């Protein structure tokens, strides 16, 4: 029996539809909620949270060209949609890229942390 392993990841800008796709690795997600513990009279402690969940999607694009690296650098701060090989879809913004060079001067890895945002869909 043959097994097919997909590992592509697609990034699309929401404002103009420009896209990048590449092999990916190191995908991970985190979800949390902003909050703190406050101390009140008599030493009572209560959790105070802010409504809403924050999410991050981390991934690494592998063996991309310098042109792709520069394109992704120009997208810093722009709203993008990311879709992985599982069909998961994340909409958000990234504020930086981490670039790793290979010995091959034409290949790079780019690590991105996508901060998810709320998107209203529909007509």
Could you read off the pLDDT of 5-26 as tens digits, one per residue? 667 899 999 999 999 999 998 8
What is the CB neighbour count within 10 angstroms for residue 99? 15
| C-alpha–C-alpha distance, residues 32 and 53, integer Å | 6
The whole-model pTM stands at 0.81
Q: Give the pLDDT confidence of 26-74 residue by residue, as tens digits.
A: 889 999 998 999 999 999 999 999 888 889 999 999 999 999 999 999 9
pLDDT of residue 120: 79
- 97-113 pLDDT tens trace: 999 998 888 899 999 99
Under the banding of pLDDT at 50, 70 and 90, the label for residue 121 is confident
Residues constituting the chain:
123
Mean per-residue pLDDT of the chain: 91
97 touches 72 (CB < 8 A): yes
């Amino acid at each position: 029996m043959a097994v097919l392993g997909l590992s592509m990841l697609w990034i699309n800008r929401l404002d103009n539809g420009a896209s990048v796709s590449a092999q990916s690795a190191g995908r991970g997600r985190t979800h949390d909620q902003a909050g703190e513990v406050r101390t009140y009279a008599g030493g009572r402690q209560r959790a105070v949270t802010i409504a809403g969940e924050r999410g991050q999607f981390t991934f690494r694009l592998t063996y991309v060209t310098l042109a792709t690296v520069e394109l992704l650098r120009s997208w810093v701060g722009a709203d993008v949609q990311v879709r992985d090989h599982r069909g998961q879809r994340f909409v958000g913004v990234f504020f930086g890229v981490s670039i790793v060079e290979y010995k091959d001067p034409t290949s790079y890895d780019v690590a991105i942390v996508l901060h998810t945002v709320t998107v209203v869909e529909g007509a």
